[in-house]
Structure formats: C-alpha cells, structure tokens
Amino acid sequence: MLAGSLHRSVRRFGFADARLVTDWATIVGSEIAEVAVPVRLDRRGRRLTLHVRPAAALLLQHQEPQVLERINAFFGGTLVLRLHLVQTLAASRPEPPPVRRALDDADHAAIEAAVSAVGPPALRSALASLGRHVRADGR
C-alpha cells in the first residue's frame, strides 16, 4: 500500500519501483540500512546514489559488490551497476519515539520515596520529574 502511494514521489528521483526505497532494509540487510539510505537512481548510468554515515562509508565502499548483488537479485535483473556514496550525517532513518508507559501509584510512591531526603524543594521536584520520565520510558 505504501509503495503505491509513494510511486509518484519516488519517480522524481529516478526510482521506477518504490520498493527500492520501501524495502531497502529487506534488500540490503538491517546493518547497511541503518547507515545508508537510497536517494537517487540514475537509470541511464545505472548508478544508485546513497547517503551514508561518514563512519560507514569506507566499509560500504568495500561491500559494494555484495550490495549490488543483493539489489540486482531482489529485482531479478541488472538494475544497478555501481554505487555513488555521499557522506552525510542524515544518512539514517530517524528512530521512532520511545514508547512511554503510564505510571501507576506504586511508581509514584517509589519516586517520591527516592527523592524525599533531598533538601531544597525545587531540586526535589526536578528530580521527581526526572524519575517519572525515566520510569515512563521503561528504564
């Protein structure tokens, strides 16, 4: 469903098939997908431009034959002949926000007990607020 709605948008960047963007992690594996994102496909030159985290660029350069093999095997033909790596800090997909859980009375009581010995009320309040955020994040 997502591929269908993205079709027009991804065509502007040379992607004839939105699956190269939507199924990127499946195609290249989660380790590579965490550090590299496809941004443009030059269909005439069969060159895929990837935004890559700087720390991973050299490793990905050495893995280029395997990445090309995975991409072409996924699509059943020679879609890409080479990679063009552009180092950027924005190469990874943003992490989803943490799932926050609701605190129960026992959580509130434990937090209040932990900060009860703190003298200044403003500091005690700030620490209690921090404690509630940490507990809600599941830590």
SS (H, E, C) 41-89: EECCCCEEEEEECHHHHHHHHHCHHHHHHHHHHHHCCCCCCEEEEEECC
- Of 12 and 68, the structure prediction assigns the larger pLDDT to 68
Q: Which two tokens stand for residue 37?
A: 């994102």
Q: How confident is the model at residue 29 (pLDDT cuts 50, 70, 90)?
A: very high
Reported as a single tens digit per residue, the pLDDT across 85-135 is 999 886 555 556 667 788 899 999 999 999 999 989 999 999 999 989 888
In this prediction the pTM is 0.56
